[in-house]
Structure formats: structure tokens, C-alpha cells
Structure 1
């Protein structure tokens, strides 16, 4: 008695999802050390504020440009030590993913793949500017994604409430 095998030929012939980095680039890089050389004098540890924004734009049917905008500002005693802005991007070839997975894929996975490169640039530029290298912790892009979805939902809800009143 022969065992029946499920028909998996259709599954095997279906195109497999793929995500490839086509290229990476620096779109904008700015480093300011407005109080040099006084800013390099020893002193108390600076307060460092960092913000990260993710944006994406579809370039054609399967190519997406995803950009990280990272701002880092170090201050001590109300004096700016340094201010860095980096817009770092990646071009991604994305094929055969279900439509309902595209937005999280582009806004979470793509930034996660290029972030280490952007982090290295920030580390190098702050060190080359005369400061210790800025060593950013890994970023939870899925948490940023959820926060942005919640903020968008709240904005929509505010709009609905203001039109009702």
C-alpha cells in the first residue's frame, strides 16, 4: 500500500518572497560643533538627545527607498557641544510578499537592515569631530512602527471628534 503524498507542486512553483538591498546612500550629513574649541574642554558628561524617523517611498513596482533621519544633539550647561543630522537610505528590491505585509516590512525590517551602517557613520563623525564616538543602542523599529500607528489613529480620532462637535 503506497502512501499518498500531498500535492505540493503548486506551492513549490509559487514565487518565493524576497527582500534584497540594491544600494545604500547618505542623502544628507551635517555635523556642527558651534563652540569649538571650547566645547572640547573637559567637563561634566553632556546630555545627549537622539531622535529617529523612518520614511519610505515606492520607486517603482518592486523598488522602495527607505530613509532613516537621525538627529543627535549633545549639550552641557545650556551650550551645544555638537549637533548631527544624518539622512541615510537604502534601496530595497521587494518581491512576492502579500500586500498586507508590505507596510510593516518596509517600515520595520528595511530600517533594521540599514541601521547598523547609519550607526557607524554617527560614531565616526562624532569621533572625527573631536568627541568620543556616539555609540547608539540598537533600535526597536517595531516599537516605533506601533507608536506611529497609534499616533496616526489618535489624530484620525481627534479629527472625527472635531467634525462631530
Structure 2
């Protein structure tokens, strides 16, 4: 069997470029809302929950140094499959402040919006599980999120919107 060597691309002068890093400086709940609809309006019959999760991400620079704030907005809605009645709605804005180093400018946007949320996700998942449990429902353990696909999807949506606005004649 071959040795478990890690191959690293070297620069033309033979040196290995420094590894890009994203170091968390702090994480926090920016906003949290949980609405238990069932507590106000009881639902009769069998309940088969259907949960939808919507995620949006944003990043912005903080000051003159290499610090960035990344905000993940999660809207989680649970409805009864049988009647389409809403069971609960949870909205969570979770933020993190990160320091970057060795990240080329052309790679900064995807690096922040993929790696930052990936580091924050275990904490977000725990908050969602605790709040749904404390709200009177079984703990909701979010499935892992593919932040690379989510980033690509966002880029494709922005490109489609830009093309549509170019095609629309102005009055």
C-alpha cells in the first residue's frame, strides 16, 4: 500500500503557499423567534409533520482588518401533511465573527459563505433542536447542509436575475 502522503501544489519557486484559514472569534444568536401554532389552535386527528428549511447567508467586512461577520438566516416551518395546517414556525439569525488569513481576494466570497456556515452549523443545529424540544415538539435535528451547493445555487439565482433584468426593456 502507498504511504498516506498529502500532495500540495507548490508555487513556481518551489515553496508551498500558506493554507487559507478562517478562525472564529465569536458566535451569537442575533435574532430568534419560535411560534407554536398548535398551542393556540389545537389540531385534531393524526399529525404527520412536513418540515421545510430555508437558508440564506450573508457576509460583510468588519473594519479595516481581515475580520468578517457571517449571518445565517434559517426559517423553519412545520406543517401537517394531511391538513396543511402550520404546527410551528421558527426563525433564527445566527452570526459569527471570523478572522481570515491567506485567502486570495478572488476566493474570499465563496470561502466566507461556505466555510463560515460550515463551522457555525453544529451550533445552529443544537439551537434548533433545543428550541423545538422546549417548544413542545420532538427535537428537530437538522440534516447536514451542503453549503457548496447552496453557494452555487445562490450564484445561479443572481445570474438568472441579472440576465432577466438585462432582457427586460425599460419604459
Q: Could you state the TM-score of these two structures normalised by the residue count of structure 1?
A: 0.85
Instruction: Give the one of 128, 131, 136 matched to 1:125.
Output: 131
| Distance in 1 of aligned mates of 2:102 and 2:155 | 24
Instruction: Give the one of 62, 75, 93 matched to 1:71.
Output: 75
Runs of 4 or more, structure 1, over 3 Å off, are 14-17, 37-42
Which protein has the larger Cα radius of gyration, Structure 1 or Structure 2? 1
* 1:12-31 → structure 2 map (5 Å cutoff): 17-31=20-34
Contact 1:40 1:130 in 2 (8 A): no
User: Could you tell which deviates more after superposition, 74-83 or 134-143?
Assistant: 74-83
Instruction: Give the one of 125, 148, 151 matched to 2:157.
Output: 151
Q: CA deviation at 1:30?
A: 0.5
Query: Structure 1: 5+ residue runs without aligned partners?
Result: 1-5
Instruction: Give the one of 162, 165, 168 matched to 1:162.
Output: 168
Aligned length: 157
Query: Structure 2: 5+ residue runs without aligned partners?
Result: 1-11
Partner of 1:3: none
Go from structure 1 to structure 2 and tell me whether the alpha carbon gap of 1:54 and 1:44 turns closer, same or farther (over 3 Å shift). Answer: same
Which structure shows the bigger proportion of residues in helix conformation?
Answer: 1
| Distance in 2 of aligned mates of 1:40 and 1:58 | 46
Residues 4-28 of structure 1, C-alpha deviations (whole Å, 9 max, x = no match): xx976xx47x765332000000000
User: Could you tell which deviates more after superposition, 134-143 or 151-160?
Assistant: 151-160
